[in-house]
Amino acid sequence: MNRISKVSWQAVAHPLPKIPTGIGGFDELSHGGLPRHRTTLLKGGPGSGKTVFALQSLVNAARKRQEPGIFVAFEESTSQIIANAASFDWGLPALAKNKLFFLDAKLSPEVVQSGEFDLSGMLAILKAKKEEIGAKWIVFDGIDVLLTLLQNPVAEMREIYRIRDWLAQNDVNAAIITAKMDGAGLGIVNYGFMQFMVDCVIRFERRLEHGVALHRLEITKYRGSDFVAGEYPVSFGPSGMEVGAPEPAEIKQVASGERVSAGFERLDTMLGGGLFRGSSTLITGVPGTSKTTLAGKFAEAACRRGERTLFVSFDEGADRIARNLTSVGIQLNTHVKSGLLRMYSGRTESIGAEDHLLKLKALIREHRPRCMVIDPLSAIAKTGGLAAARAVANRFIYLAKDEKITVMVTAINEGDEPETEATDLQISTIADTWIHLSYLIRSGERNRALTIIKSRGTWHSNQVRELVLRNTGPMLADVYTAGGEVLMGTLRWEKESEERAKTMQRRAEFDHKRGELQAAEADTQVRIKALQQDLARQRAELATYSSENQARIVSSSDREKELRRIRSADPAGRASGSSGNSGKRNKKEARDAP
């Protein structure tokens, strides 16, 4: 009774102390890291990431908490390990000089074995070294390599218990043992009892999927602690390993008002200025309606803005897609070379939708894209149950939203009626924007038509537009309607020709009219000039006349004076006997000044 209550009290008040590994995602998954003062077993096949996990934990402890560590390498030589880790930005060579001690425990192939041996000597060495550098962490990497040399299961178990006892006596913050083991694996030892010995077991797995390695991790045991169950993708970046942590249950997405181009200007115009950052766009259409072209254009536009972009295609090689898109003026290869664009092509056969999602997650974590294309997303439903594929499609869209990735997915629909829309995956309800591509057959032609069925939170064009593929890229043709229909193809061309002819005619008419007006204007100008000349002449004439007249008046008055002087006549008597001219003047004067 007393004992029971004590146990339960311990369970409540003393949650298992943990020590963080500093590996992104893992500490969340394990609710805090590795068990403190305990031993953790990392198991998995070759190249599954055990060594990186162990080494990264050690490096993080040394760098972040100044805790020295010992790395015992049974499988690879120390120099190999340091060289392998050089691709990560850990500064391992510097750490190896002071904080970390690497024990090269790889037995040379020249070593001759004769009879049984044990690890008591090695553990004595490690104890001495631990005390010398004050090590808080210890890693036994690839212990299976040494144990198999014992060629005796009983001896193997004995040595494992020896290590456990050593770990119990030599208090360390955390001990990590890695071993190649897998219950189902062929040729890989199954140290079942080792899993009972340790407090935490993490299973690593590496699978090849179409030439691309997919790494996963699963916590299979964590004594005295809860943890997030299930397999999680592991990706390797410049800072080391990262685990794709589980998605939180609550949707915490921030809606962005920022617009990004959907690929080309006219489409953006139809969408009222582009797509919202972090939104999802679904493009549906039957095969051949250039869904890939639109998606490619979107990816290219993103790369041109300098945004990291991920282009995932299914059942068609990335090279082939890039090449095909070149014919419509979409250049992806330069962006692939610059590292901005990652193109990944997956096969859909024999892979479940869940696997696709894990791969997509790994790709996203690896490449960290701001824009992403999946062409076609409907491919994930090819294998496995449709219900699972639907769930995965939904989860992918939400994942993209969480990561604030602007995503464009395509889906094939079989019918040509958008309402019956395709999408077996039923993603049209969760996509923010839905562009439907179809063929319109009229006048013996099949033309591509683009419709925006919905675009959440923004104005969008309600018109059906013709999508024209040029060698300079896709474009939306000018709209001509006739009888309520948007004209396409030849009909549009005819309309365009007609419009052109009309324009030319109007231009000719205008030119003609302008000529006429110009001629009339010139004529008027000439006439104005002539009239002005007339006016000038008349003015001159008038001036001449006035001055002559004045002169005449002056001269006549002078003459009169002279006459008066000569005749000495009375000026008053002279007035009546004046000449006609002077009489006129007098009459005028009398009239003016009465």
Q: Please report how close the Cβ of residue 30 comes to another protein at its closest, in angstroms.
A: 32
Piece of 76-84, 99-107, 233-241, 454-462 that binds another protein (CB under 8 A): 99-107
Q: Please report how close the Cβ of residue 78 comes to another protein at its closest, in angstroms.
A: 12
Q: Which is nearer to another protein, 155 or 197 (CB)?
A: 155
169 near another protein (CB under 8 A): no
Run of H or E residues at 506 = helix 489-567
2 near another protein (CB under 8 A): no
DSSP 8-state secondary structure symbol assigned to residue 87: G
β-pair type (69-73, 137-141): parallel
Piece of 15-23, 58-66, 108-116, 351-359 that binds another protein (CB under 8 A): 108-116
132 near another protein (CB under 8 A): yes
Q: Please report how close the Cβ of residue 150 comes to another protein at its closest, in angstroms.
A: 9
Identify the CA nearest to 27 among candidates 249, 200, 182, 237.
200
Token pair for residue 459?
């104005």
Residue with tokens 């992806």: 332
Q: Which of residues 429-488 bind another protein (CB under 8 A)?
A: none
212 near another protein (CB under 8 A): no
Query: SS3 of 460, please?
Result: coil
117 near another protein (CB under 8 A): yes
Longest dimension (CA), the chain: 179
Residue of 5, 114, 462, 471 that binds another protein (CB under 8 A): 114
Q: d(Cα 267, Cα 257) in Å, to the nearest integer?
A: 18
Residue with tokens 């990561």: 403
Residue of 5, 12, 13, 110 that binds another protein (CB under 8 A): 110
120 near another protein (CB under 8 A): yes
Query: What are the Cα distances from residue 419, in Å, to 375, 397, 436, 453?
Result: 21, 21, 10, 9
164 near another protein (CB under 8 A): no
Residue of 3, 5, 12, 115 that binds another protein (CB under 8 A): 115
β-pair type (445-455, 465-470): antiparallel
Q: Please report how close the Cβ of residue 375 comes to another protein at its closest, in angstroms.
A: 54
Do residues 137 and 61 lie in contact, with contact meaning Cβ atoms separated by under 8 Å? yes
Query: SS3 of 289, please?
Result: coil
Piece of 12-20, 118-126, 340-348, 365-373 that binds another protein (CB under 8 A): 118-126
Q: Please report how close the Cβ of residue 1 comes to another protein at its closest, in angstroms.
A: 45
Q: Using CB under 8 A as the criterion, what x/- string covers residues 53-92 for binding another protein?
A: ----------------------------------------
Identify the CA nearest to 306 among candidates 269, 260, 254.
260
Name the CA radius of gyration of the chain, rounded.
Answer: 47
Q: Which is nearer to another protein, 102 or 480 (CB)?
A: 102
Q: Which is nearer to another protein, 59 or 146 (CB)?
A: 146
Q: Please report how close the Cβ of residue 43 comes to another protein at its closest, in angstroms.
A: 23
Q: Which is nearer to another protein, 102 or 204 (CB)?
A: 102
Number of alpha carbons in the 13 Å side-chain half-sphere of residue 306? 0
Q: Which is nearer to another protein, 107 or 535 (CB)?
A: 107
Number of residues lying near another protein (CB under 8 A) = 26
Do residues 564 and 574 lie in contact, with contact meaning Cβ atoms separated by under 8 Å? yes
Do residues 349 and 314 lie in contact, with contact meaning Cβ atoms separated by under 8 Å? no
343 beta partners: 311
12 near another protein (CB under 8 A): no
Q: Could you give the residue ranges of the DSSP H alpha helices within 134-261?
A: 143-148, 153-169, 192-197
**Torsion sign over Cα 293, 294, 295, 301:** positive
Q: Please report how close the Cβ of residue 126 comes to another protein at its closest, in angstroms.
A: 8
Piece of 52-60, 120-128, 506-514, 562-570 that binds another protein (CB under 8 A): 120-128
165 near another protein (CB under 8 A): no
503 by Cβ neighbours in 10 Å (0-12 / 13-18 / 19+) ranks as: exposed
157 near another protein (CB under 8 A): no
103 near another protein (CB under 8 A): yes
Q: d(Cα 95, Cα 58) in Å, to the nearest integer?
A: 10
Q: Please report how close the Cβ of residue 132 comes to another protein at its closest, in angstroms.
A: 7
Query: What are the Cα distances from residue 439, in Å, to 411, 445, 534?
Result: 16, 9, 76
Q: Which is nearer to another protein, 110 or 171 (CB)?
A: 110
Residue of 83, 107, 387, 528 that binds another protein (CB under 8 A): 107
Q: d(Cα 71, Cα 75) in Å, to the nearest integer?
A: 12
β-pair type (309-314, 341-346): parallel
Residue of 23, 61, 119, 464 that binds another protein (CB under 8 A): 119
Give the dihedral of Cα atoms 408, 350, 359, 341; nearest 10 deg: -50
Token pair for residue 351?
């892979």
Q: Which is nearer to another protein, 132 or 558 (CB)?
A: 132
111 near another protein (CB under 8 A): yes
128 near another protein (CB under 8 A): yes
118 near another protein (CB under 8 A): yes
Residue of 52, 92, 143, 146 that binds another protein (CB under 8 A): 146
Q: d(Cα 53, Cα 142) in Å, to the nearest integer?
A: 13
Identify the CA nearest to 17 among candidates 199, 263, 219.
199
Q: Please report how close the Cβ of residue 68 comes to another protein at its closest, in angstroms.
A: 16
109 near another protein (CB under 8 A): no
State the residues that interact with another protein by CB under 8 A: 103-105, 107-108, 110-122, 124-125, 127-129, 132, 146, 149
